[in-house]
A and B are shown apart, each in its own frame.
Chain A
């Protein structure tokens, strides 16, 4: 060890840095104070509304008007509709367990130990199978509940997971296909990607839900939910493929040549050399696409599915609750936030982890 590597670079103390960046001149002081006051006030208003002047229990709803704060009674009274949609009341425990299974599967697949094709496949097959048995039933004495009656959080998570799991491998195939050395193949994949990218998601979902039954033979149709998921996944893959292709494009050609001269075949070069580097290069965009997709799952309402946002609308849709839509939307917003924020933080963690050795 040299001395230079032991000695730390000189650091300005925190208080001095604050002083320099926020209170350097009288004008700076003034601006800082005004902003600080403004933000504190906004935060106070929110905390007051959400916690201090709010009403929590369903039975206390009549007090809401007077209290002036949030009326969380609506959540207390109607949270089951938000979480479970039209799922039969006595079977809500199944939907709860199914959500838990999905979340555990998500978290597990974020752990590097699972990052082999075998383990990931096994994990997701097990995850989906358990989810399906719980939600659909028909096995182990569980009553059958068809997908039209699935709803709420479980449906949102299911659609997101299925779209990601079908879409991700598809996007890799599309990205590699578009970079094929054979012009015919490259053109075909390019056309496919650009075609689906230039259609609105809504059109694709409508086509999948409403029009394909007229075109496809009966045995190929499957349930409406599955058709919608496949359509969604193709849309997702078309976008994700372009992100991954950008990542592949950024790899110097020497990397592949080094693989070639070591005798690695195409699959080995793709899986060991190209894709790991492509993912590192395109990680922010790839994560962003997942975030967008999570939020876009709410579009499936249009073709008649009660995912969490639609279930929320149903929750304040009757009688005394109609005035409390803000609370419901804030609540659903918080749920989205938990998932999307975790996803972004995980993305940031991955970026740090993959930067190892790249200075």
Chain B
């Protein structure tokens, strides 16, 4: 497992990764690295394979060619490896995916008790600590259906944090939210970034990318077309497709 103190330890490495849905080629020769503590923002047009890329990192999708190495463990068909990786990698979804039949607190403690084998009391203490961090401890006894979208997404982030993940993946965490709720979620993500969490984040929030990303990656049609620091990426894009994409999303 990666040692925290060494600088530039690699958290994720993808080498020549290819993936097909039946005969549709979604990921084409992806080479991609994330260093420990790095924050990477992935953007690109709809259907370009961004979700597929980060879902491969926590093995929600299988890849057919190439190698993916996460925290020093190769993702192959070895089930023990996959279980170990999934425990160390958290994921936040566009649709929150909170468990609707459990309270906010139960959502957070479920994996702590089942996977981390904490006692109920310990688990609740940890959960409350992270609910405070995302600033909704007072909602802990409510059900997800009783919360606003922004609150639900913050609970989802807290739920991931409870597992103390080494890497946190975000798949368009704010695109299902009403505009006035986007910033409360982004604030939480910025705070996490500032604490040094390793993050891979698919988002079209360019303000967020400028503020926290170490690197921005642009994908189109299953390929990584361009990657650069946020400043260079936004000010001097080199690829035509990047320029077109940026002109489209920055119009609004």
How many angstroms between the C-alpha atoms of A354 and B102 in the bound complex? 11
CB of B145 within 8 A of CB of A262, answer no
Instruction: Please report the C-alpha to C-alpha distance between residue A12 and residue B22 in the assembled complex, in whole angstroms.
Output: 60
Q: Across the interface, do A258 and B60 meet the contact criterion of CB distance under 8 Å?
A: no
B residues less than 8 Å from A48 (CB atoms): none
B95, B146, B159, B160: the one contacting A357 at CB < 8 Å is B146
Residues on B with C-beta less than 8 A from A359 are 145-146
Asked if A265 is at the interface of the complex by the 8 Å CB criterion, the answer is yes
B97 contacts A254, CB within 8 Å? yes
A76 within 8 A of B: no
Considering the complex, give the chain B residue whose CB is closest to the CB of A251. B100
What's the least CB distance linking A273 to chain B, in Å?
6
Residue B99, interface by CB 8 Å:
yes
Of residues 81 through 107 on chain B, the ones whose CB sits less than 8 Å from some CB of chain A are: 83, 86-87, 89-91, 93, 95, 97-101, 103
CB proximity of B52 to chain A, nearest CB, Å: 13
Find out whether the CB atom of B60 lies under 8 angstroms from the CB atom of A354: no
A257 close to chain B: CB less than 8 A: yes
Contacts of A187 in B (CB 8 A): none
In the assembly, what is the distance between CA of A264 and CA of B99, in Å? 13
B25 within 8 A of A: no
Chain B residue numbers with a CB within 8 Å of A357 are 100-101, 103, 142-146
Count residues of B near A (Cβ-Cβ below 8 Å).
29
Bound Cα distance A263, B80 (Å): 11
| Nearest neighbor of A269 in chain B, beta-carbon distance | B114
Known: A257-B60, A264-B111. A276 touches B87 (CB 8 A): no
Tell whether B224 is near chain A: CB-to-CB under 8 Å. Answer: no
**0/1 per residue, B40-75, Cβ < 8 Å to A?**
000000000000000000101000000000000000
Binary CB contact string for chain A from 255 to 297 against chain B (1 if under 8 A, 0 otherwise):
1011011111100100011001100100000000000000000
Instruction: Please determine whether A263 and B95 come into contact, CB atoms closer than 8 angstroms.
Output: no
B98 CB contacts on chain A under 8 angstroms: 258
- Complex formed: what's the CA distance from A309 to B91 in Å? 58
Query: A344–B172 Cα gap in the complex (Å)?
Result: 44
Query: Which residues of A336-359 are within 8 A (CB) of B?
Result: 354, 356-359
| Residues of A with C-beta under 8 A to B143 | 356-358
Chain B: CB-nearest residue to A280: B101
Q: A261-B86, A261-B89, A359-B145 are in contact. Are A277 and B100 (CB under 8 A)?
A: yes
Interface residue A218 (Cβ < 8 Å from any Cβ of B): no
**A254 to chain B: which residues have CB within 8 Å?**
93, 95, 97
| A252 beta carbon closer than 8 Å to chain B | yes
Give every chain B residue within 8 A of A354 (Cβ-Cβ). Answer: 101
Of all chain A residues, which has the CB nearest B101? A276
Are A358 and B99 in contact, with the CB atoms below 8 A?
A: no
Say yes or no: A261-B91 contact (C-beta < 8 A), given A252-B97, A276-B101.
Answer: yes
Please report the C-alpha to C-alpha distance between residue A265 and residue B111 in the assembled complex, in whole angstroms: 10
Known contacts: A272-B114, A357-B146. The answer to whether A258 contacts B86 by CB under 8 A is no
Interface check B115, CB cutoff 8 A: yes
Q: How far is B35's CA from A280's CA once the two chains are assembled, in angstroms?
A: 44
**Docked-complex contact A263 and B115, CB < 8 angstroms:** yes
Return the contact of B58 from the options A261, A264, A272, A356 (Cβ within 8 A). A261
Q: Which chain B positions have C-beta within 8 A of A264?
A: 110-111, 114-115
The reply to whether the CB of B201 lies closer than 8 angstroms to some CB of chain A is no
Would you call B101 and A262 a contact (CB within 8 A)? no
Q: Let me know if B163 is at the binding interface, CB within 8 A.
A: yes
In the bound complex, CA of A258 to CA of B98 (Å): 8
Chain B residues, CB < 8 A from A260: 58, 60, 86
Please tell me if the beta carbons of B110 and A272 are within 8 angstroms of each other in the complex: yes
* Cβ–Cβ contact B60 & A263, under 8 A: no
CB pair A255–B99 under 8 Å, yes or no, is: yes
A263 surroundings in chain B (CB, below 8 A): 83, 86-87, 111, 115, 163
CB distance from B182 to the nearest CB of A (A): 20
Q: Are B89 and A258 in contact (CB under 8 A)?
A: no
For window 128-179 of B, CB contacts with A under 8 Å fall at: 142-146, 156, 159-160, 163
**Chain A residue at minimal CB-CB distance from B114:** A268
Measured CA separation A354–B115 after assembly (Å) = 26
Residues 212-254 of A, flagged 1 when their CB comes within 8 A of B and 0 if not, give 0000000000000000000000000000000000000000101
Minimum CB distance partner of A271 in chain B? B114
In the complex, what residues of A have CB within 8 A of residue B95's CB? 252, 254
**Contacts beyond the supplied A261-B90, A273-B99, A358-B100: 20 A-B pairs with Cβ under 8 Å:** A252-B95, A257-B60, A257-B97, A258-B98, A261-B58, A261-B160, A262-B110, A262-B111, A262-B163, A263-B83, A263-B87, A264-B110, A264-B114, A272-B110, A272-B114, A356-B143, A357-B142, A357-B143, A359-B145, A359-B146
Question: What 10 A-B pairs have minimum CB-CB distances, sorted nearest first?
Answer: A357-B143, A262-B111, A258-B97, A263-B87, A254-B97, A261-B91, A263-B115, A357-B145, A263-B86, A276-B101
